Chains A and B, each alone.
Chain A
Amino acid sequence: MSRIAQFLFRRKGGRGWHWTDIVTWVWLVGGLFIMFGPAVWLVGSSFKSPAALAEFPPTILPYITQKVTVSGIDKPLDLYEVTLEGGKTVKLAEVRRVGVVSQMVDPSNPGEVIKVNISQRKPVREMSFASENYTGPFTHFDFVRYLWNSVFVTVVATLITLIVNSMAAFALSKYEFRGRTIAMLLILATLMVPLSVIMVPLYSIVSALGLFNSLWGVILPTVATPTGVFILRQYMLTIPDELIDAARMDKASEWQIYWRIILPLTAPALAVLAIFSVVWRWNDFLWPLIVLSRKELYTLQVGLSIYSGELNVQWHFILAMTVVTMIPVVLVFIFLQRFITTGIAGTGLK
C-alpha cells in the first residue's frame, strides 16, 4: 500500500509539495473518473433488469428482488422480509397489494394470507446479472442483422479504401503525368467538402444510381478518402525510385510493381489507414441514417439511435446493445492505442 502511495504521490524533483502537484493529481484522478466513469456505469447498468433500472436511487451493482414459487399460484412471487407486530422478522411472498396493504403468504404455508402494511416489508435482494439484456435484442430487434450490416460496411469499405487509395497514391507519388498537380489539388480540396454540405445532392445521386436503401450506398461515397490518399502518398514518396527501376529491369509489369513492391513496403501506413478506416466506418451515423430507411438494413449506430429515440425506450436492451457496439472500438483502443496516437501526432488528422 505504501508502495502504491509512494508511486501515486511521487513529486517532481522530490522537493516539497507544490500547488501544481496538487492540481496535477486532482486533474488526473478527476479525469480518470470523468473519462472512464460514464462508460463503466453504462456497462454496469447494462446488466440490470428493467425493474432495477427504474429504481431511484440506483445501486452500483445489479440487484433484483428474489422470487419464490408458491404452490397453487402460477407466477413466481416477490419475496419480502417482513417485520411482524411482535418484532419478529419472517420471509413472506407477496400475492397482491391493495393500497398500503400487502397480502402475503408464507411460502411454506401457502394457505394462510397475512396482511401487512407496506412500510413493514423490505424486498429480499440478490445480485443477478441480467444476461437476457444481451440475448433479448437478438429476438426483439433483429440485432444480428444490424451487427452483420455494420461489420459488412466496415470491412468492405475499409478494403476498398485501402485498395483504391493506395492505387491513387501510387500514381500520384511514382508517375510523372500531365494533370498530376490538378488531381492532387482536387483530392486535397475534398477536405473542404464535408458530408453535411453535400448531403442533399449526394442523396439524389445515390438514389439515381439505385443505391438508396442499399449498404453499397453507405459504403461507396466514403471510400475515396482524401486523408487516406494523402497519408499513403507521403509514405510512398519515401520509397526510393531505384527500387521501381530495378523491378522494371526485372521484367515486372507496373501492376506487379504496385502489388509486389509498393504495397508490401507501404504496410505501416496501410495499417494506420486501416485502423482509422475501421473506426470511421464503424462509427458513421448521419449518412447511413439518410440512406438506410428499411429496418433490416440498419447499421448498429442507426438502429441504436432509432430505438433510443422511441417514446418507450427499452433501456435495458439499448444499454446492452450500446456495450456491444463499443466492443470493437474498445479493442482497437486497447491494442492499437499507441499506433493511433502516434498516427495523429504525425499527421494531425483524425
Chain B
Amino acid sequence: MKADIPGKPGFNFGDAAMVPVRFAMELVDPPLRWLQRTAGLGGMATFFLLPNMLIFGIFVLLPFFINFAYSMTGGAALFLPDRNFVGADQYARLFDCSNYLDPNSCAEDTFWTAVGNTGWFVLLQVTLMIGVSLVTALILNRDLRARSFWRAVFFFPVLLSPVVVGLIWKWILQRQGLLNFGLYGLGFEPHAWLNDRNWSFAAAVGVSIWAHMGFYTLILLAGLQAIPKDLYEAAEMDGTKPTRVFLRITLPLLAPNLLVVIVLVLIRAVQIFDEVYVLTGGGPGTSTLFLTQYIYETGFAAQLRNPGLAAAASILMGAVLVVLTLLQLSLGRSSEKKGDRK
C-alpha cells in the first residue's frame, strides 16, 4: 500500500458530516498549541507516542516481565506481593517425572498430556494445512473463471469467530448431526464423534484447518501470482514436463511464502485454544487438552488455582514462540533480500 498523493485524496474535515469531529479536535487544539510552545517538537513526538506506549507498557511489557516473578512464587493469592517466593519449584514440579517418555509418571501429568497433544496437533496442522492450502492455491491460480468468487469461498471461515466455528462443528458432529445423517444414508451406524478420544482429536485438527486454511491459501496464492508468467512460457517452449515445471520453477519461487506460512501455522498451532475449547472442552478426558487450556485452567478455572505454575508453563510456551518468531523474522529478512516477495 502506498499513499497515491495527487490521485486519491482521503476524507476531508471540511465536509459537513465531519462537523462534530472537527469541533472536538479544535477544542483540544489550544492546550496542545501551548504544549508545543513549551515542549517543542520533541515534546509533541512524545505526546503522540505516549498513549500507545502507556497502554502497551502497562498491558504487555509489564505483564511480560512480572510473569517471570510469578513463575517463582507459589500459593493461590492473586497479587504478587501476597505471594511467597519458591524459587524454581514450579519449574521443578513441571519437570518432575520418573519416566520422561510417559506423561502419567509425571507429577503434573496434565501438563505433559497437554504438551504431547499440542505437539501432535502442531505436527498434523503444519503438514495438513500446508498440503490443503497449497493445493487450493495452485487450483485457484489456474486459468479459472470467477476466481475471486472461489477465493472468497475458501476464505469465508477465516473471519468467523472461533466460538462460532466451534459451535457450527459441534452441531454437525453431535450424535443427531449432519455427519451421522450422511453416514446413516450410506448405511453406517451413528457415532458420537466428540465423545470418542481419537475422533475428537481428529475433529480438533480438521476444524482448525477448515477455519484457517483460507488465510494461508491467500498468502500462497499471492506468492504464486507474483511468479512471472514468462518463466512458464519459457518452460513450455523448452517442452518441460509439468511435474518438472512445478518442482523446478513453482516450488523454488514459492519457497519464501511457503516458509512464512509454515512458521505462521506453527506459531498459531502452538497457541491453539478457542475453537477446540468450544468444540470439545478439552475432552473427552484430556484427549484434546492443549497448552493454552492447561495454562488457563491452572491459572483461573481449576478448584485449586495455581497462578505460579500457570506462569511457569506460559514462560516455557513463550520461549518456544520467541524462537519461532525470530525464525520467521530472519526468514522474512532473507527472503526480502532475495527480492522474491513484495
Chain A positions within 8 Å of B78 at CB level: 203-204, 207
A to B contact number (C-beta, < 8 Å): 324
- CB closest residue in chain A, given B59: A221
Chain B positions within 8 Å of A332 at CB level: 159
Interface contact A177-B161, CB-CB below 8 Å = no
A285-B56 CB under 8 A given contacts A31-B154, A58-B176: no
Task: For the complex formed, measure the closest distance between the CB of B45 and the CB atoms of chain A, giving whole angstroms.
Answer: 4
Residue among A39, A55, A167, A329 making CB contact with B161, cutoff 8 Å: A329
Give Cα A32–Cα B136 distance, bound, in whole angstroms.
12
Contact with B along A314-350 (1 / 0, CB 8 A): 0100110010011001101100011011001111101
Interface contact A35-B157, CB-CB below 8 Å = yes
Give Cα A318–Cα B13 distance, bound, in whole angstroms.
44
Please name the 7 residue pairs, one residue from A and one from B, whose CB atoms are nearest each other, closest first: A267-B10, A283-B161, A168-B52, A171-B48, A175-B45, A197-B318, A201-B63
Residue among A235, A329, A338, A341 making CB contact with B1, cutoff 8 Å: A235
- CB closest residue in chain A, given B69: A201
Chain A positions within 8 Å of B317 at CB level: 196-197
A282-B12 CB under 8 A given contacts A203-B299, A269-B1, A304-B167: no
Interface 9-residue window, one of A86-94, A129-137, A254-262: A254-262
Residue among B29, B156, B310 making CB contact with A253, cutoff 8 Å: B29
The main secondary structure of chain A at its interface with chain B is: helix
Query: For the complex, is A128 an interface residue (Cβ under 8 Å from B)?
Result: no
Chain A positions within 8 Å of B1 at CB level: 231, 234-235, 238, 268-269, 272, 346-347
Chain A positions within 8 Å of B80 at CB level: 201, 204
Give Cα A42–Cα B342 distance, bound, in whole angstroms.
39
Residue among A24, A57, A264 making CB contact with B10, cutoff 8 Å: A264
Interface contact B314-A254, CB-CB below 8 Å = no
Residue among A53, A55, A196, A239 making CB contact with B295, cutoff 8 Å: A196
Residue among A45, A164, A338, A344 making CB contact with B219, cutoff 8 Å: A344
Chain A positions within 8 Å of B177 at CB level: 58
Interface contact A197-B163, CB-CB below 8 Å = no
A286-B292 CB under 8 A given contacts A38-B169, A175-B44, A268-B8: yes
Q: Interface residues, chain A, CB within 8 Å of chain B? A: 7, 10, 12-13, 20, 23-24, 27-28, 31-32, 34-39, 41-42, 45, 53-58, 163-165, 167-168, 170-172, 175, 177, 180, 183, 186-187, 190-194, 196-209, 220-221, 223-224, 229, 231, 234-236, 238-240, 253-256, 258-260, 263-269, 272, 279, 282-283, 285-286, 290, 301, 304-305, 308-309, 315, 318-319, 322, 325-326, 329-330, 332-333, 337-338, 340-341, 344-348, 350
25 pairs, CB–CB < 8 Å, chain A vs chain B: A10-B145, A39-B168, A175-B41, A175-B44, A177-B45, A196-B314, A198-B63, A198-B318, A199-B299, A207-B78, A224-B56, A234-B1, A239-B5, A254-B44, A254-B48, A266-B3, A268-B1, A286-B273, A286-B296, A304-B163, A322-B164, A329-B160, A344-B219, A345-B219, A345-B221
Q: Can you add 4 more A-B contacts, CB < 8 Å, to A196-B314, A238-B2, A344-B218?
A: A24-B142, A41-B168, A204-B66, A326-B160
Interface contact A224-B60, CB-CB below 8 Å = yes
Interface contact A264-B12, CB-CB below 8 Å = yes
Interface contact B3-A38, CB-CB below 8 Å = no
A202-B59 CB under 8 A given contacts A39-B168, A164-B52: yes
Give Cα A286–Cα B221 distance, bound, in whole angstroms.
31
Task: For the complex formed, measure the closest distance between the CB of B13 and the CB atoms of chain A, giving whole angstroms.
Answer: 6
Chain B positions within 8 Å of A191 at CB level: 325
Task: For the complex formed, measure the closest distance between the CB of B298 and the CB atoms of chain A, giving whole angstroms.
Answer: 9
Chain B positions within 8 Å of A283 at CB level: 159-163
Chain A positions within 8 Å of B281 at CB level: 309
Task: For the complex formed, measure the closest distance between the CB of B157 and the CB atoms of chain A, giving whole angstroms.
Answer: 6
Interface contact B163-A305, CB-CB below 8 Å = yes
Chain B positions within 8 Å of A175 at CB level: 41-42, 44-45, 48
Chain B positions within 8 Å of A163 at CB level: 51
Task: For the complex formed, measure the closest distance between the CB of B262 and the CB atoms of chain A, giving whole angstroms.
Answer: 13
Task: For the complex formed, measure the closest distance between the CB of B278 and the CB atoms of chain A, giving whole angstroms.
Answer: 5
- CB closest residue in chain B, given A26: B139
Residue among B162, B315, B322 making CB contact with A285, cutoff 8 Å: B162
A183-B161 CB under 8 A given contacts A205-B63, A345-B218: no
